[in-house]
Amino acid sequence: MLKQSLQRVFGYAAFRPGQEAVVESVVAGRSAAAIFPTGSGKSLCYQLPALHLPHLTLVVSPLLALMQDQLAFLRRHGIAAASIDSAQSREQVSEVMSKAKAGELKILMISVERLKNERFRHFIAQVPISLLVVDEAHCISEWGHNFRPDYLKLPDYQRQFGIPQVLLLTATATPPVIADMRAKFAIAAEDVVTTGFYRPNLNLLVEPVSGRDKLRRLVDWLSSRSGQPSVVYVTQQKTAEQVAEHLSRHGIAVSAYHAGMPHEKREATQRQFMEGRLNGIVATIAFGMGIDKSDIRNVVHYDLPKSIENYSQEIGRAGRDGQPSDCLVLANRDSLNVLENFVYGDTAERDGIRCVLDELLAAPDGQWELMLNALSEQSNIRQLPLKTLLVQLELRGLIAPRYAYFAEYRFKYLIEPETLVGHFDGERRQFVEAIVQTSARARTWCTVDFDALYRNHRAERSRVVKALDWFQEKGWIELESKQMTEVYSVLRRDFDAEVLSGELHGYFKQHETSEIARIHAMLALFASDHCLSHRLADYFGDHDAPMRCGHCSVCHGLVARLPEPPALPPLEGQDVNALCGDFIQRYQALKAGHPSAECLTRFLCGISVPLFTKLKAKGITGFASLEDYPYAAVRTWVETYSGACS
């Protein structure tokens, strides 16, 4: 039955390694995990079972580009699939929801953040679901390289929505991460299928190149491979633009691709590349997740990747057709500080953590309502580490997530209010009249007053939201919602905020140390004198790769000795007051105190945090003036400056 569907729907004569075992586990009703290298066909492990399961398959995917690419594939093969994402209009979302409710969809793809949406949760609770699929499932593990706090809530969502089984998919899980994933979803060891990470057609090449010679070497490399589909990876958006422009001037047709580009331009660039009308992309890591282009012949890392896991993912986009493909790292230590600064910028300051704890303690009636944007700005903690902090408070039993809602709903009538009310009788009519009467109208839009509805009519918020959704589905109103608010129950207040701030700051510092070590482990891989293919496979627990692959730079006798970055003047010769004086003045005017050593270090190294946006720090003299120096060295130097710490 499964092989018939494989042939009839997908046109494949046989399964790839590992696929059949995963598919059989899922169709038999068991939860499973597929740990396959990039490009080895993980997606089929849910696409095929979805055809044989009675209800909807719900896929949690991390990136919009990944969803769109997989949806296009599914539709080409006649499979009823859709996504709900932030790029869609309200009408498009309503249409997808209606199809899901009517049982017309086999697969629905969403981001994990969608599950915090009050309206979506009301909807999905009404839809029978056979299977929850978690793509990039390593994101659920704090041991993973791309931990996403919201992923920790997926086991609870599985229980809450009564989803009987789960399928985890990832390409970059080390043995500790696999153990963590299994434990969180209670997956039996025999239902975890891991295929080898060794790719015999990928030539792993590490070439030491000084920073000043990289552009020249890149031009030479790509010129000798004219017409071959190639991806050049860089760290920063501005580098993508600069490198793409340089290559174009030298007759190499490429386009930049990064998250800062307009959506339409980014989509058009990706489409041209996928269709073969463009052979070169210079991209940040925003490009490539879920991209199913089989004939990419070259992947070049112009800048160092962020980690071994990122490197593995990115080179995995080459040679999916099994043909020989080259993966080149133009290696030096010039961009090391940039990589490390991403890590340091995500370490929450102790004062910021204390600010969050004080907000928690001040929450009235055992319920804490917060808007992430506002709390991020107030605490000066970036949103991702702030989410991590909230999850840590959950894990310590201090708070429990209840739900998320949009603080503000507004609507405009597409029919007359009297006509809308006229569709109902009895108690329902009174309820709808109350919504109409209490919703303040300003020209076109009416703002819903939930407090007045509850105070005067005992109308529960959830009932009002369901009614508004229903009105929109019927085409009677156009509905908008904004200001996402997260609601937590406060379970305990019997903690010492100062002591806990220290503990949590220690947690973030430990994570910082771990991430910096991850970067240096990658450097050690590139400078290794052992077979690169074997080292890479061993890192992911694959001990079956050959000791010598014969097609990496080490096996060719070329061990990389990474050149050091250009020497910099000693920090001791710098003047803290000259570099930070204007910033300190503006900080004191806003905060009535002295910036911490951490704050000054971030200013000097050009690391963006919420406070700097408010202070317009990028326009202050001295911002990023020491970005070429190691962050840790700058911090040590600033700490010796008397009075740096408030």
3-state secondary structure 288-304: CCCCCCCCCCEEEECCC
Which residue reads 């059989």 in tokens? Answer: 24
Packing angle, helices 426-438 and 450-457, rounded to 10: 140
According to the model, what pLDDT value does residue 290 have?
A: 52
Whether the pLDDT of residue 632 is over 60: the answer is yes
Give the strand order in the sheet containing 445-447: 367-370, 477-490, 399-413, 445-447, 440-442
Cβ contacts of 361 within 8 Å, gap of 6 or more: 493, 497
Q: Any alpha helices (H) in 166-251, and if so which ranges?
A: 175-185, 214-223, 237-249
pLDDT tens column, 6-29: 888 888 889 999 999 999 999 999
240, 234 Cβ separation under 8 angstroms: yes
Q: What is the pTM of this model?
A: 0.77
Whether the pLDDT of residue 316 is over 60: the answer is yes
Residue ranges per structural domain of the chain: 2-194, 202-340+514-539, 350-490, 571-639
Q: What is the CATH number of domain 202-340+514-539?
A: 3.40.50.300
| Distance, CA of 373 to CA of 50 (rounded, Å) | 37
Average pLDDT value for the chain: 90
Q: Which of 83-97, 458-472, 536-550 has the lowest mean pLDDT?
A: 83-97
Long-range CB pairs of 235-242 (<8 Å, 24+ gap) are 235/284, 235/303, 235/304, 235/306, 235/335, 235/338, 235/339, 236/284, 236/303, 236/338, 237/284, 239/302, 239/303, 240/282, 240/283, 240/284
Whether the pLDDT of residue 644 is over 60: the answer is no
pLDDT tens column, 330-343: 998 887 887 888 88
pLDDT tens column, 255-300: 999 988 888 898 899 889 999 999 999 999 867 655 678 899 999 9
Residues 273-307: b if buried by 16+ CB within 10 A, e if exposed: beeeebbbbbbbbbbbbbbebeebbbbbbbbbbbb
pLDDT tens column, 371-403: 998 999 999 999 889 998 998 898 888 998 777
**Paired strand residues for 205:** 328
Q: What is the CATH number of domain 2-194?
A: 3.40.50.300
According to the model, what pLDDT value does residue 291 have?
A: 67
| Distance, CA of 639 to CA of 196 (rounded, Å) | 48
According to the model, what pLDDT value does residue 395 have?
A: 80
Whether the pLDDT of residue 313 is over 80: the answer is yes
| Distance, CA of 58 to CA of 45 (rounded, Å) | 13
Mean local confidence (pLDDT), 195-218: 94
Do domains 2-194 and 202-340+514-539 share one topology? The answer is yes
Q: What is the CA radius of gyration of the chain?
A: 27
pLDDT band at 623 (very low <50, low <70, confident <90, very high): very high
Measured at the CA of 435, the angle between CA 433 and CA 440, to 5 degrees, comes to: 115
pLDDT tens column, 77-110: 999 999 998 777 777 888 999 999 999 999 999 9
Q: Which tokens is 598 given?
A: 């951490």
According to the model, what pLDDT value does residue 532 have?
A: 97
pLDDT tens column, 30-64: 999 999 887 778 999 999 999 999 999 999 987 76
327, 228 Cβ separation under 8 angstroms: no
According to the model, what pLDDT value does residue 176 have?
A: 86
Cβ contacts of 132 within 8 Å, gap of 6 or more: 58, 60, 154, 157, 158, 163, 165, 166, 167
